[in-house]
Amino acid sequence: MSKRVLVVEDQEDNRQIMEDMLTNAGYQVFKAKTGDEGVALAEAQVPDLILMDIMLPGIDGYEATRRIKAQAALARIPIIAVTSYAMQGEEDRAMAAGCDAYFGKPVSPRVLLAKIQDFIG
């Protein structure tokens, strides 16, 4: 059974790029456009890993991460922040919210896949 990855990203092009990269690497992909959808999909699907954008409609990626990590059934899911919002201090803020890793966009697919494999194989 392939590992399951939830992509929470509001930009359609970025969602498609992530989906193509992940499915080509053998992962099953679920996609959400908003932070609220991401939390709901995490609860419904219990993925093996989450790729979380930060700037999202509704609740942002920080709050979505906090809500996911606050649930016992979801707290151990690794969350990787992947964001173009790469201001100074944002990596610390993402980690404080519960993210397990942080990448500013654009990110090398090879580097991102290596980090995903570090977490879930």
**The residue type at 6:** L
Residue 17, domain extent: 4-120
Mean pLDDT of 63-84: 96
pLDDT in the model for residue 106 = 86
Q: The domain spanning residue 62 has which CATH number? A: 3.40.50.2300
Report pLDDT digits (tens) over 22-55. 999 999 999 999 999 999 999 999 999 999 999 9
What is the three-class DSSP state of 58? coil
Q: To which H or E segment does residue 49 belong?
A: strand 49-52
Residues in contact with 30: Cβ distance below 8 Å, sequence separation at least 6, in sequence order: 4, 5, 6, 7, 41, 45, 47
Domain count, the chain: 1
Q: Which residue has the higher pLDDT, 8 or 105?
A: 8
DSSP code of 7?
A: E
Q: Which residue has the higher pLDDT, 87 or 76?
A: 76
Residue closest to 63 by CA, chosen among 12, 98, 91: 98
Q: Which residues pair with 51 in a beta bridge?
A: 7, 80
Residue 13 in this model has a pLDDT that exceeds 70: yes
CB 33 within 8 A of CB 61: no
Residue 54 to residue 69: CA distance in whole angstroms: 15
pLDDT in the model for residue 88 = 75
